[in-house]
Chains A and B, each alone.
Chain A
Amino acid sequence: MTNSMNEILETDVMFAIGTNTTEAHPVTGYRIKQAVRNGKKLIVADPRKIELVKYADLWLCHRPGTDIALLNGLAHVILRDGLWDEEFVNEHGEGFEEFKSAVEKYTPERAAEITGVDAELIEQAAHMYGSAEKATIIYAMGITQHTTGTNNVMAIANLSILTGNVGKRGTGVAPLRGQNNVQGACDMGCLPNYYASYQKVDDKEINNKFEQAWNVALPKEPGLTVTEMIDSVYRGKLKGMYIMGENPMLSDPDSNKVKKSLQALEFLVVQDIFLTETARFAEVVLPAVTSVEKEGTFTNTERRIQRVRQAIKTESEAKPDWQIIIDLANKMNYSWEYPGGPEQVMEEIAKLSPLYGGISYSRLEKGGIQWPCPTRNHPGTMYLHADGFTRDKGKFHSVEYLPPAEEPDEEYPLMLSTGRMLYHFHTGTMSRRSQMEELRSEELMMMHPADARENSIKDEDRVQVESRRGKVSTKVQVTDHVPMGVVFMTFHYRETPTNNLTIAAVDPICKIPELKVCAVRVNKAGA
């Protein structure tokens, strides 16, 4: 997030697109609802009638996968009606002319045709967002999990630069990170092309710095992303994998392909707290502990580094992941010494990772600190870009609407979109082993009443859902909270492994899979 979570309360207009905030990020959802109660305006763009729609001043119910057409349509109206921030754009916006001509053709009428949203609604939304003194765009995986995910994000950034909603309190863009420490895992350099703090592995100087710090020669080429890894195993190039606390068998698209890959590996180590669907394919399984049995830090979606504290002692042989990694390194003839444990690891992070330069456990005692925090006496950063943009960050990126990789056809006439629901989390390894299970113990695929009628399906019927890649069985919830032609499923249930159906098509830039759109058909079970 460029800004902070509670700045949502200070914004004038919130534009939530591709985020079912009240279920996937409930506490942020509270803030949006509080802001609405305080008289702030809310625009929701979502194909589903999510809870926020109840609170929204405008609901743009666009077809899945048509975000760019919608966002460009909004930009078109904002430009056409002179609602953009000329001063800001002149000062900070590179590539404006090109962008302007790119959105020229996205008239409200054309955007309406692609998205299925009334042209008039698009105009109203553009006016509401464009004329706000302070506006925030909130988004999540509904924007990113598309083959055009990167471009979707760019289209959002374009809007916020165009209206000058950057670098000021109560404005900005707010991508909501899905997991407790996705932000931290990225910050730490668990990415094929970056070291910690987004320092490029193929930058010579950086590479040198790390070789010196770690006293070893390091690979210079960027590595593979997770989807590329799966492919690479498939093609016999990858032989061994070490998976720590991940469950790609349920979380990744096209599970059958993932399964074949994992089976094809020569050697797989999985380190986890449960014997997950993925761990079953491992040759060695290492027992790790939960976050309540160890010390450490997480970094949340607003870049706040916060302490994780040990609350209970582990009563089995399981060990903290950090301990296991150190032990393993030492078994491989390195001598990693961290007698101070995680606190000492953080000292090393602070030295090598500029965004975390001023972080120490003693400073975190009083509460979290938001990066960038380069030095010991830096208070942390509530919102980014306060002093304008550094280098090319204010650049407009002209992006075009492209249809999803797979669209419904005669054979697979329905569009499947996936996501989360309030009571469970991710692949359910944690939440389904908690009392949450009493609230919702099985998948309920959401289906529009008209589609249900057409397929002679009633509420709570059991059905087979099939795509070109696999099939699963699930119960149905007939509801008008999904539009006609779209069905919605979560990926929380191993009994209904929804990712058997999804497509492994990825965004060409960031390799994110298109989990939000694929084509399926639904048959009544036994029929």
Chain B
Amino acid sequence: MVDKVKVNINGNDYFVPENYTILKAAEENGIDIPTLCYEEGLPITGACRMCVVEVRGARKLMAACATQVSDGMEVLTESERVVEARREILRLLIANHDLRCLTCERNGDCRLQDYCYRYKVEDTPYKGEVKDFKIITDNPFFIRDYSKCIKCGKCVSICAEVNGAHVYEFINRGFDTKVTSAFDDPLPETTCTFCGMCINVCPVAALVEKSTLWKGRPWEVKKVTTTCSYCGVGCQLKLKVKDNTIIGVAADKSGSNLGHLCSKGQFGWDYVHSKDRLTHPLIKREGEFVRVTWEEALNYIAGRFKDILSQWGGRALAGLSSAKCTNEENYLFQKFMRVVLQTNNIDHCARL
């Protein structure tokens, strides 16, 4: 058991486990501290400095994400000094950021924007050099717009620490620092597996799925939490839907996958809208499939099953159920086979 310590945040005492950071202690007690580079499950880098707070007795402001609590600690999360520091950081970030928010895909779903609003940072006094990069479109799935990158490093981190692909790295130093692939190679020529986790951790619009470009503003896009339809890991994810079309996927942290996905879960959804989809029942007549109504199709099937049942009994019938269908459907299917077709000849491709 971890011992608890008393921490005073903004004048109120809280008892939290001693291995908590200030950020976690605050979060659990409903106090929101802004973060850009922090991501649960990834190493703490303390890079963005958005989460700085005032700790009594400390000479400098402390990063809440990286500072462990201690007994009797007194923390101010929104003091004047803290707020001014955060505003300065925001002014600095937007001074070197492509501020064409009007048409930005993350407009309305952007941490940088949210925090500027929260701290009333309307503009920046720093009108100097702005890093301007060409948008990179080197792969089928997403674009990289480094003019919008704020160097939080989460893409670097998730790629290295979770996927293990180590595609991204910081290059250069100081103001020239940028994130890129090794030797600036196009992603298809790197170890990238296109899991897209980098897109989902990007707090701004530096990494954007191509499928969402110009498809709708974030607030127009419905997000539906569901289970991935590929392998048996059962990853949870959020489908982004606009105009009855799946335009992308966002991370969902409620499942064992902790928001992590692979390329299929992230990008493998267009089959839903495939032109090859079956759209109506078909009956084969003289070797050709002919479109029929549901009524015709079901009557025909019922008739044929009844014939076989009466002539040969249930043992002449068999059903293959699907490892792709839902539990409810599989349940109904075996019930149908057992009850209606009177047979235990039921199986599915569990073994394949």
Contact = CB atoms under 8 A, between A and B. Distances in A.
Q: Does a CB–CB distance below 8 Å link A and B in the complex?
A: yes
Interface of A: 4-6, 22, 24-28, 30, 33-34, 37, 55, 141, 144-145, 149, 176-193, 195-196, 201, 210, 214, 216, 218-219, 221-226, 229, 232, 237-246, 248, 251-252, 266-267, 269, 272-275, 279, 282-288, 290-294, 296-302, 304-313, 315-322, 325-329, 331-332, 334, 342, 345-346, 348-349, 366-368, 422-426, 429-431, 433-436, 438-439, 510-513, 515
B326 A224 contact: no
Contacts of A346: 327-328
Contact of A283 (B246, B284, B351): B284
A309 B342 CA distance: 32
Interface centre among A219, A293, A316 (most CB of B within 10 A): A219
Contact of A436 (B161, B254, B268, B331): B268
B163 interface: yes
Given A216-B339, A226-B349, A329-B336, A274 B324 contact: no
A512 B281 CA distance: 33
Given A312-B244, A325-B332, A275 B232 contact: no
Contacts of A246: 320-322, 348-349
B131 interface: no
A99 B332 CA distance: 42
Contacts of A367: 236, 254-255
B230 A224 contact: no
B235 A27 contact: yes
Contacts of B343: 219, 223
Contacts of A349: 327-328, 331
Nearest to A36: B164
Interface in B322-346: 322-346
Contact of B319 (A33, A242, A304): A242
B329 A224 contact: no
B227 A307 contact: yes
B256 interface: yes
A429 B331 CA distance: 24
B340 A219 contact: no
Contacts of B320: 226, 229, 241-244, 246, 248
A291 to B, nearest CB: 5
B305 A27 contact: no
A192 B347 contact: yes
A321 B164 CA distance: 39
B319 A244 contact: yes
12 contacts: A25-B231, A37-B164, A145-B351, A180-B228, A182-B348, A185-B322, A188-B334, A210-B338, A241-B320, A272-B278, A299-B234, A435-B141
Nearest to A21: B233
Given A218-B338, A299-B327, A309-B224, A284 B297 contact: yes
Interface centre among A149, A275, A434 (most CB of B within 10 A): A434
Given A26-B195, A184-B327, A300-B234, 16 more contacts: A27-B262, A30-B162, A141-B352, A190-B321, A190-B333, A219-B344, A223-B343, A245-B323, A298-B234, A299-B234, A307-B226, A311-B222, A312-B244, A328-B298, A332-B305, A345-B331
A312 B241 contact: yes
A240 B321 contact: no
A238 B317 contact: yes
Nearest to A349: B331
Contact of B233 (A25, A193, A342): A25
B281 A291 contact: no
Interface centre among B162, B235, B267, B277 (most CB of A within 10 A): B277
A291 B278 CA distance: 14
A384 B195 CA distance: 31
Contacts of A312: 241, 244-246, 272
Contacts of A282: 284
A325 B330 CA distance: 10
A19 to B, nearest CB: 12
A216 B279 CA distance: 35
Contacts of B137: none
Contacts of A433: 270-271, 274, 276
B239 interface: yes
Interface stretch (B69-77, B169-177, B308-316): B308-316
B81 interface: no
B327 A296 contact: yes
A44 B345 CA distance: 38
A180 to B, nearest CB: 5
A4 B283 CA distance: 45
Given A245-B325, A433-B271, A287 B280 contact: yes
B315 to A, nearest CB: 7
Nearest to A177: B232
B346 A304 contact: no
A346 B329 CA distance: 10
B318 interface: yes
Contacts of A311: 222, 224, 226, 239, 241, 246
A300 B235 CA distance: 9
B62 interface: no
B182 interface: no
B227 to A, nearest CB: 5
Nearest 9 CB-CB pairs, A to B? A300-B234, A296-B326, A245-B322, A223-B344, A177-B232, A26-B262, A316-B279, A287-B278, A223-B345
Contact of A326 (B304, B332, B337): B332
A244 B325 contact: yes
B277 to A, nearest CB: 6
A512 to B, nearest CB: 4
Contacts of A37: 161, 164
B339 A348 contact: no
Given A244-B325, A274-B277, A329-B336, A188 B301 contact: no
Contacts of B325: 181, 185, 244-245, 296, 321
Given A302-B256, A304-B256, A309-B226, A515 B352 contact: yes
B300 interface: yes
Contact of B272 (A242, A288, A292, A305): A292
Interface in B201-257: 211, 222, 224-236, 239, 241, 244-246, 254-257
Contact of B318 (A223, A306, A431, A511): A223
B245 to A, nearest CB: 7
Contact of A219 (B268, B289, B338): B338
Nearest to B256: A5
A178 B322 CA distance: 12
B299 interface: yes
